[in-house]
Amino acid sequence: MTHSSPGDQVDQALSESGRPTPDVVVQPDADHLARAVASALVARLAAAQAVHGTASVVLTGGGIGTAVLERVAALAAEPEHAVVDWGAVDVWWGDERFVPVDHPDRNELGARESLLSKVALDPERVHPIPSSDAGFDEPEEAAAWYAEQLATAAGEGRTMPRIDVLLLGMGPEGHVASIFPDSPAATDDRPVVAVRDCPKPPPTRVSLGFPAITAAEEVWLLVSGEGKAEAVARALGGAEPVDLPAAGAQGKQATRWLLDAAAASRLPRA
Ligand SMILES: O=C(O)[C@H](O)[C@@H](O)[C@H](O)[C@H](O)COP(=O)(O)O
C-alpha cells in the first residue's frame, strides 16, 4: 500500500492483480476525514470536468458518506470552492434499500437532504435506484432496470458509463454497497443485483455488483471507527472478496482507503 494526502494526484503502482496498489490516507478523526474527503471529491470532480466536460460519482449511504456530502454542500456554498459545475455531474448510487421513496432508510433521501437539494443539479443526471413504490414489484426488476440505465448512459454497447469516483462505506464485517460476506451478491457477475435476506435490515435491497464497482475509474472507501479496524486490516491484507467484500472493491485507476485513525489502528505502520 502507499500513503498520501487526500488531494494528491493519484499515481499508483500496479499490484499482482494488475490493479493499482491501494492508497491509504489516514485522518485524525471522523470530522477531519469527512472534510478531507469532501475537498478531494470536489477537486476530483472539477478535474474530470476539465477533461471530459462532465463528471460522475456513485454515492454511498452511511454516517461518513453522508457527512462527506454535507461538507461538499458547505464547500459548494463558498465562492472560492465553487469549482464544480453541478449541472454537469451524473449522480448514481452504489446501493439502495427497496422501500418506499420517502422511507427514512433510503440512501437517496439522505443524499438529497445533505447535498442534492443544495446544488444546481440537472435532474436528468440524477439516477436514484428505484424504490419499492416506483412501479417494480420485485427488486430483481428494479435491478435490471438500473442496469439498463447504466448501459444506456454508457452507450456503444458497454455496460457501465465512465464513473470518475465511486464512494463506498464499509460495514464492520467488510460489506460494501449491499454485498455482504458469503452472500450470492458476492459472486454474482451482473452489474446490478437484487439482494434478499440481507443480514442487516432492511432485508431487501438493490446493489451494484463487483463488475460495476470495479469498472469505476477510482474507488474510494470511507471508513471510520475502531469497530472497522479489523476489517480494514484484513481487506488490505489480501482477504478474499467473498469473505470480505471490501477487499474486492478496486478501481481501474485508483483504490483509495480514506480512514480515520481508529479505523487504521490495526494496519501495519508504513
Ligand atoms: O445498511 C447498510 O448497508 C449501510 O448503510 C452501509 O452500506 C454503510 O454504508 C456502511 O455500513 C458504513 O456505514 P457507516 O459509515 O455509518 O459506518
* pLDDT given at position 18: 79
The one-letter amino acid at 269: R
Q: To test ligand 1's pocket by mutation, which of 69, 95, 224 has the most ligand atoms within 8 angstroms of CB?
A: 95
Cα–Cα distance, 124 to 167 (Å, whole number): 21
Q: For ligand 1, what atom is nearest to the CA of residue 61?
A: 9
The answer to whether 256 touches 219, Cβ cutoff 8 Å, is yes
Cα–Cα distance, 261 to 33 (Å, whole number): 9
Q: To test ligand 1's pocket by mutation, which of 33, 59, 64, 176 has the most ligand atoms within 8 angstroms of CB?
A: 64
Q: For ligand 1, what atom is nearest to the CA of residue 223?
A: 15
Which distant-in-sequence residues (6+ apart) come within 8 Å of 40 by Cβ? 6, 7, 258
Q: For ligand 1, what atom is nearest to the CA of residue 200?
A: 1
Residue 200 CA to ligand 1 centre (angstroms): 10
Q: Which of 131, 146, 55, 48 is nearest to 94 (CA)?
A: 146
Residue 20 CA to ligand 1 centre (angstroms): 25
pTM, to two decimals? 0.94
End-to-end CA distance of the chain: 8
The answer to whether 225 touches 262, Cβ cutoff 8 Å, is yes
The answer to whether 262 touches 232, Cβ cutoff 8 Å, is no
Residue 171 CA to ligand 1 centre (angstroms): 6
Instruction: Report the chain (270 residues): mean pLDDT per 10 consecutive residues.
Output: 46 69 97 98 98 98 97 94 94 98 96 97 98 96 98 96 98 98 98 97 98 98 98 97 98 98 91
Cα–Cα distance, 88 to 120 (Å, whole number): 9
Full DSSP string of 50-68: HHHS-EEEEE--SHHHHHH
* pLDDT given at position 12: 55
| Domain annotation for the chain: domains and CATH numbers | 40-260 (3.40.50.1360)
Q: For ligand 1, what atom is nearest to the CA of residue 65?
A: 15
* pLDDT given at position 269: 77
Q: For ligand 1, what atom is nearest to the CA of residue 227?
A: 17
Tell me: ipTM over 0.90: yes
215-248 pLDDT tens trace: 999 999 999 999 999 999 999 999 999 999 999 9
Binding-site residues, ligand 1, Cβ < 6 A: 60-65, 169-171, 178, 200
The length of the chain is: 270
* pLDDT given at position 80: 85
